[in-house]
Amino acid sequence: MNTPKQDGFSMPAEFEPHHGTVMIFPERPGSWGKDPSAAQQAFSQIAARLSQCEQVYMLAGDQTAAIAAEMLPEAVKLLHIPTDDSWARDVAPTFVRNAAGDIRGISWQFNAWGGDFDGLYPDYAQDDAAAEAICTALNVPCYNARPFVLEGGAIHCDGEGTVLVTEVCLLSGGRNPQLTKEQITAKLLEYLGAEKVIWIPFGIYNDETNEHIDNICAFTAPGEVVLAWCDDPDDPQYAMSRADYDILSSETDAHGRKLKITKLPVPHKPVCVTEAECNDYIFAEGEDTREPGERLAASYVNFYFGNDCVLVPQFGGAYAEDDAKACEILHGCCPGREIVPIPARVILLGGGNIHCITQQIPAARRL
């Protein structure tokens, strides 16, 4: 079987025009609690805003399909596809496009961010099957990238041949330990139709995905990135972000351009799970658990581009000034789009944020 690159396909940038967005309605009690209605409301708010500018496809299982149909706008198309959790970025296909505007999907192998080595839950067969099921439902041809383990949150593309990843994630022992860094690079270039992979060392401190790129650094335009930043030398994120900055400052993209780096500060103090929030989870046997006071991987880089907007996580309360600053910075980085603040603490409690629960389907033509 040919690779996407051999067939003339490549991954467009997220900021390019979309046909739509894939999401998954939340229900897992180990992520969203005994009563997932708050998470369901947050997902519905995101779906409703995106449906104003593109087609939204919401996956729902047997237990939640009726609830989703009631909560979501009629414009959202429900797909009855079961999953184990709601991280569409990681289990939905990565979509690629050719010069003629044809769209195809890629089904990576999914093992819940680490499999037996350090995965977050032991039963993930439905998640692993979701990408092919979505491609079938959308009548989109699908490349099978197995046995290569990857999640959509582990890659960012600029649409012009450059891929961003973190070393700590892609070189983790639970993904592709049989492959060298050079072999992983080659695989990414072939499947994403790219020319260069930029490896930065770290992601966000205590990110349970082994520090996905989509929480630490993202393209906002060709040659331009935002990087999660911390000015507190006593915070573990301080040294991690500086190490990433050093690499990004010394690199060029696939076209030889120096990167313009905009610093996007993380919340001024850690966002931590409370005892009451911990008591709301129901963890399955073998599932990763949380403890009161545990630091969550809060970052404003986990935003999502819609066709006419940028959906930005907001943590509220003591973080109101941080929230506003993030929106102000992204407004400057993303001209022509409405900056839409989204209350997102409930999504963060599940383990990710807005970018983690969305996966773009590119438009057939690049505008």
Question: Of how many residues is the chain composed?
Answer: 367
Provide the CATH number for the domain formed by 18-362 in this structure: 3.75.10.10
Provide the percentage of residues in the chain whose pLDDT is more than 90: 99
Phi, psi (rounded to 5 degrees) for 237: -70, -25
The alpha carbon dihedral of 23, 145, 352, 337 has a sign of negative
For the segment 20-63, what is each residue's pLDDT rounded down to a tens digit? 999 999 999 999 999 999 999 999 999 999 999 999 999 999 98
**Contact assessment for residue 344 and residue 42, using Cβ atoms and an 8 Å cutoff:** yes
Domain ranges of the chain: 18-362
**Catalytic positions, please?**
356
With CA atoms as reference, report the closest residue to 143 among 97, 81, 80: 97
What pLDDT band is residue 365 in, cutting at 50, 70 and 90?
low
Residue 366 pLDDT > 90 = no
For the segment 25-35, what is each residue's pLDDT rounded down to a tens digit? 999 999 999 99
Structure tokens, 101: 């505007």
- Beta-strand ranges (E) seen in 195-353 are 196-200, 217-221, 224-229, 260-265, 304-305, 309-314, 338-343
Residue 367 pLDDT > 50 = no
With CA atoms as reference, report the closest residue to 218 among 313, 336, 340, 80: 313
Q: What is the pLDDT of residue 1?
A: 83
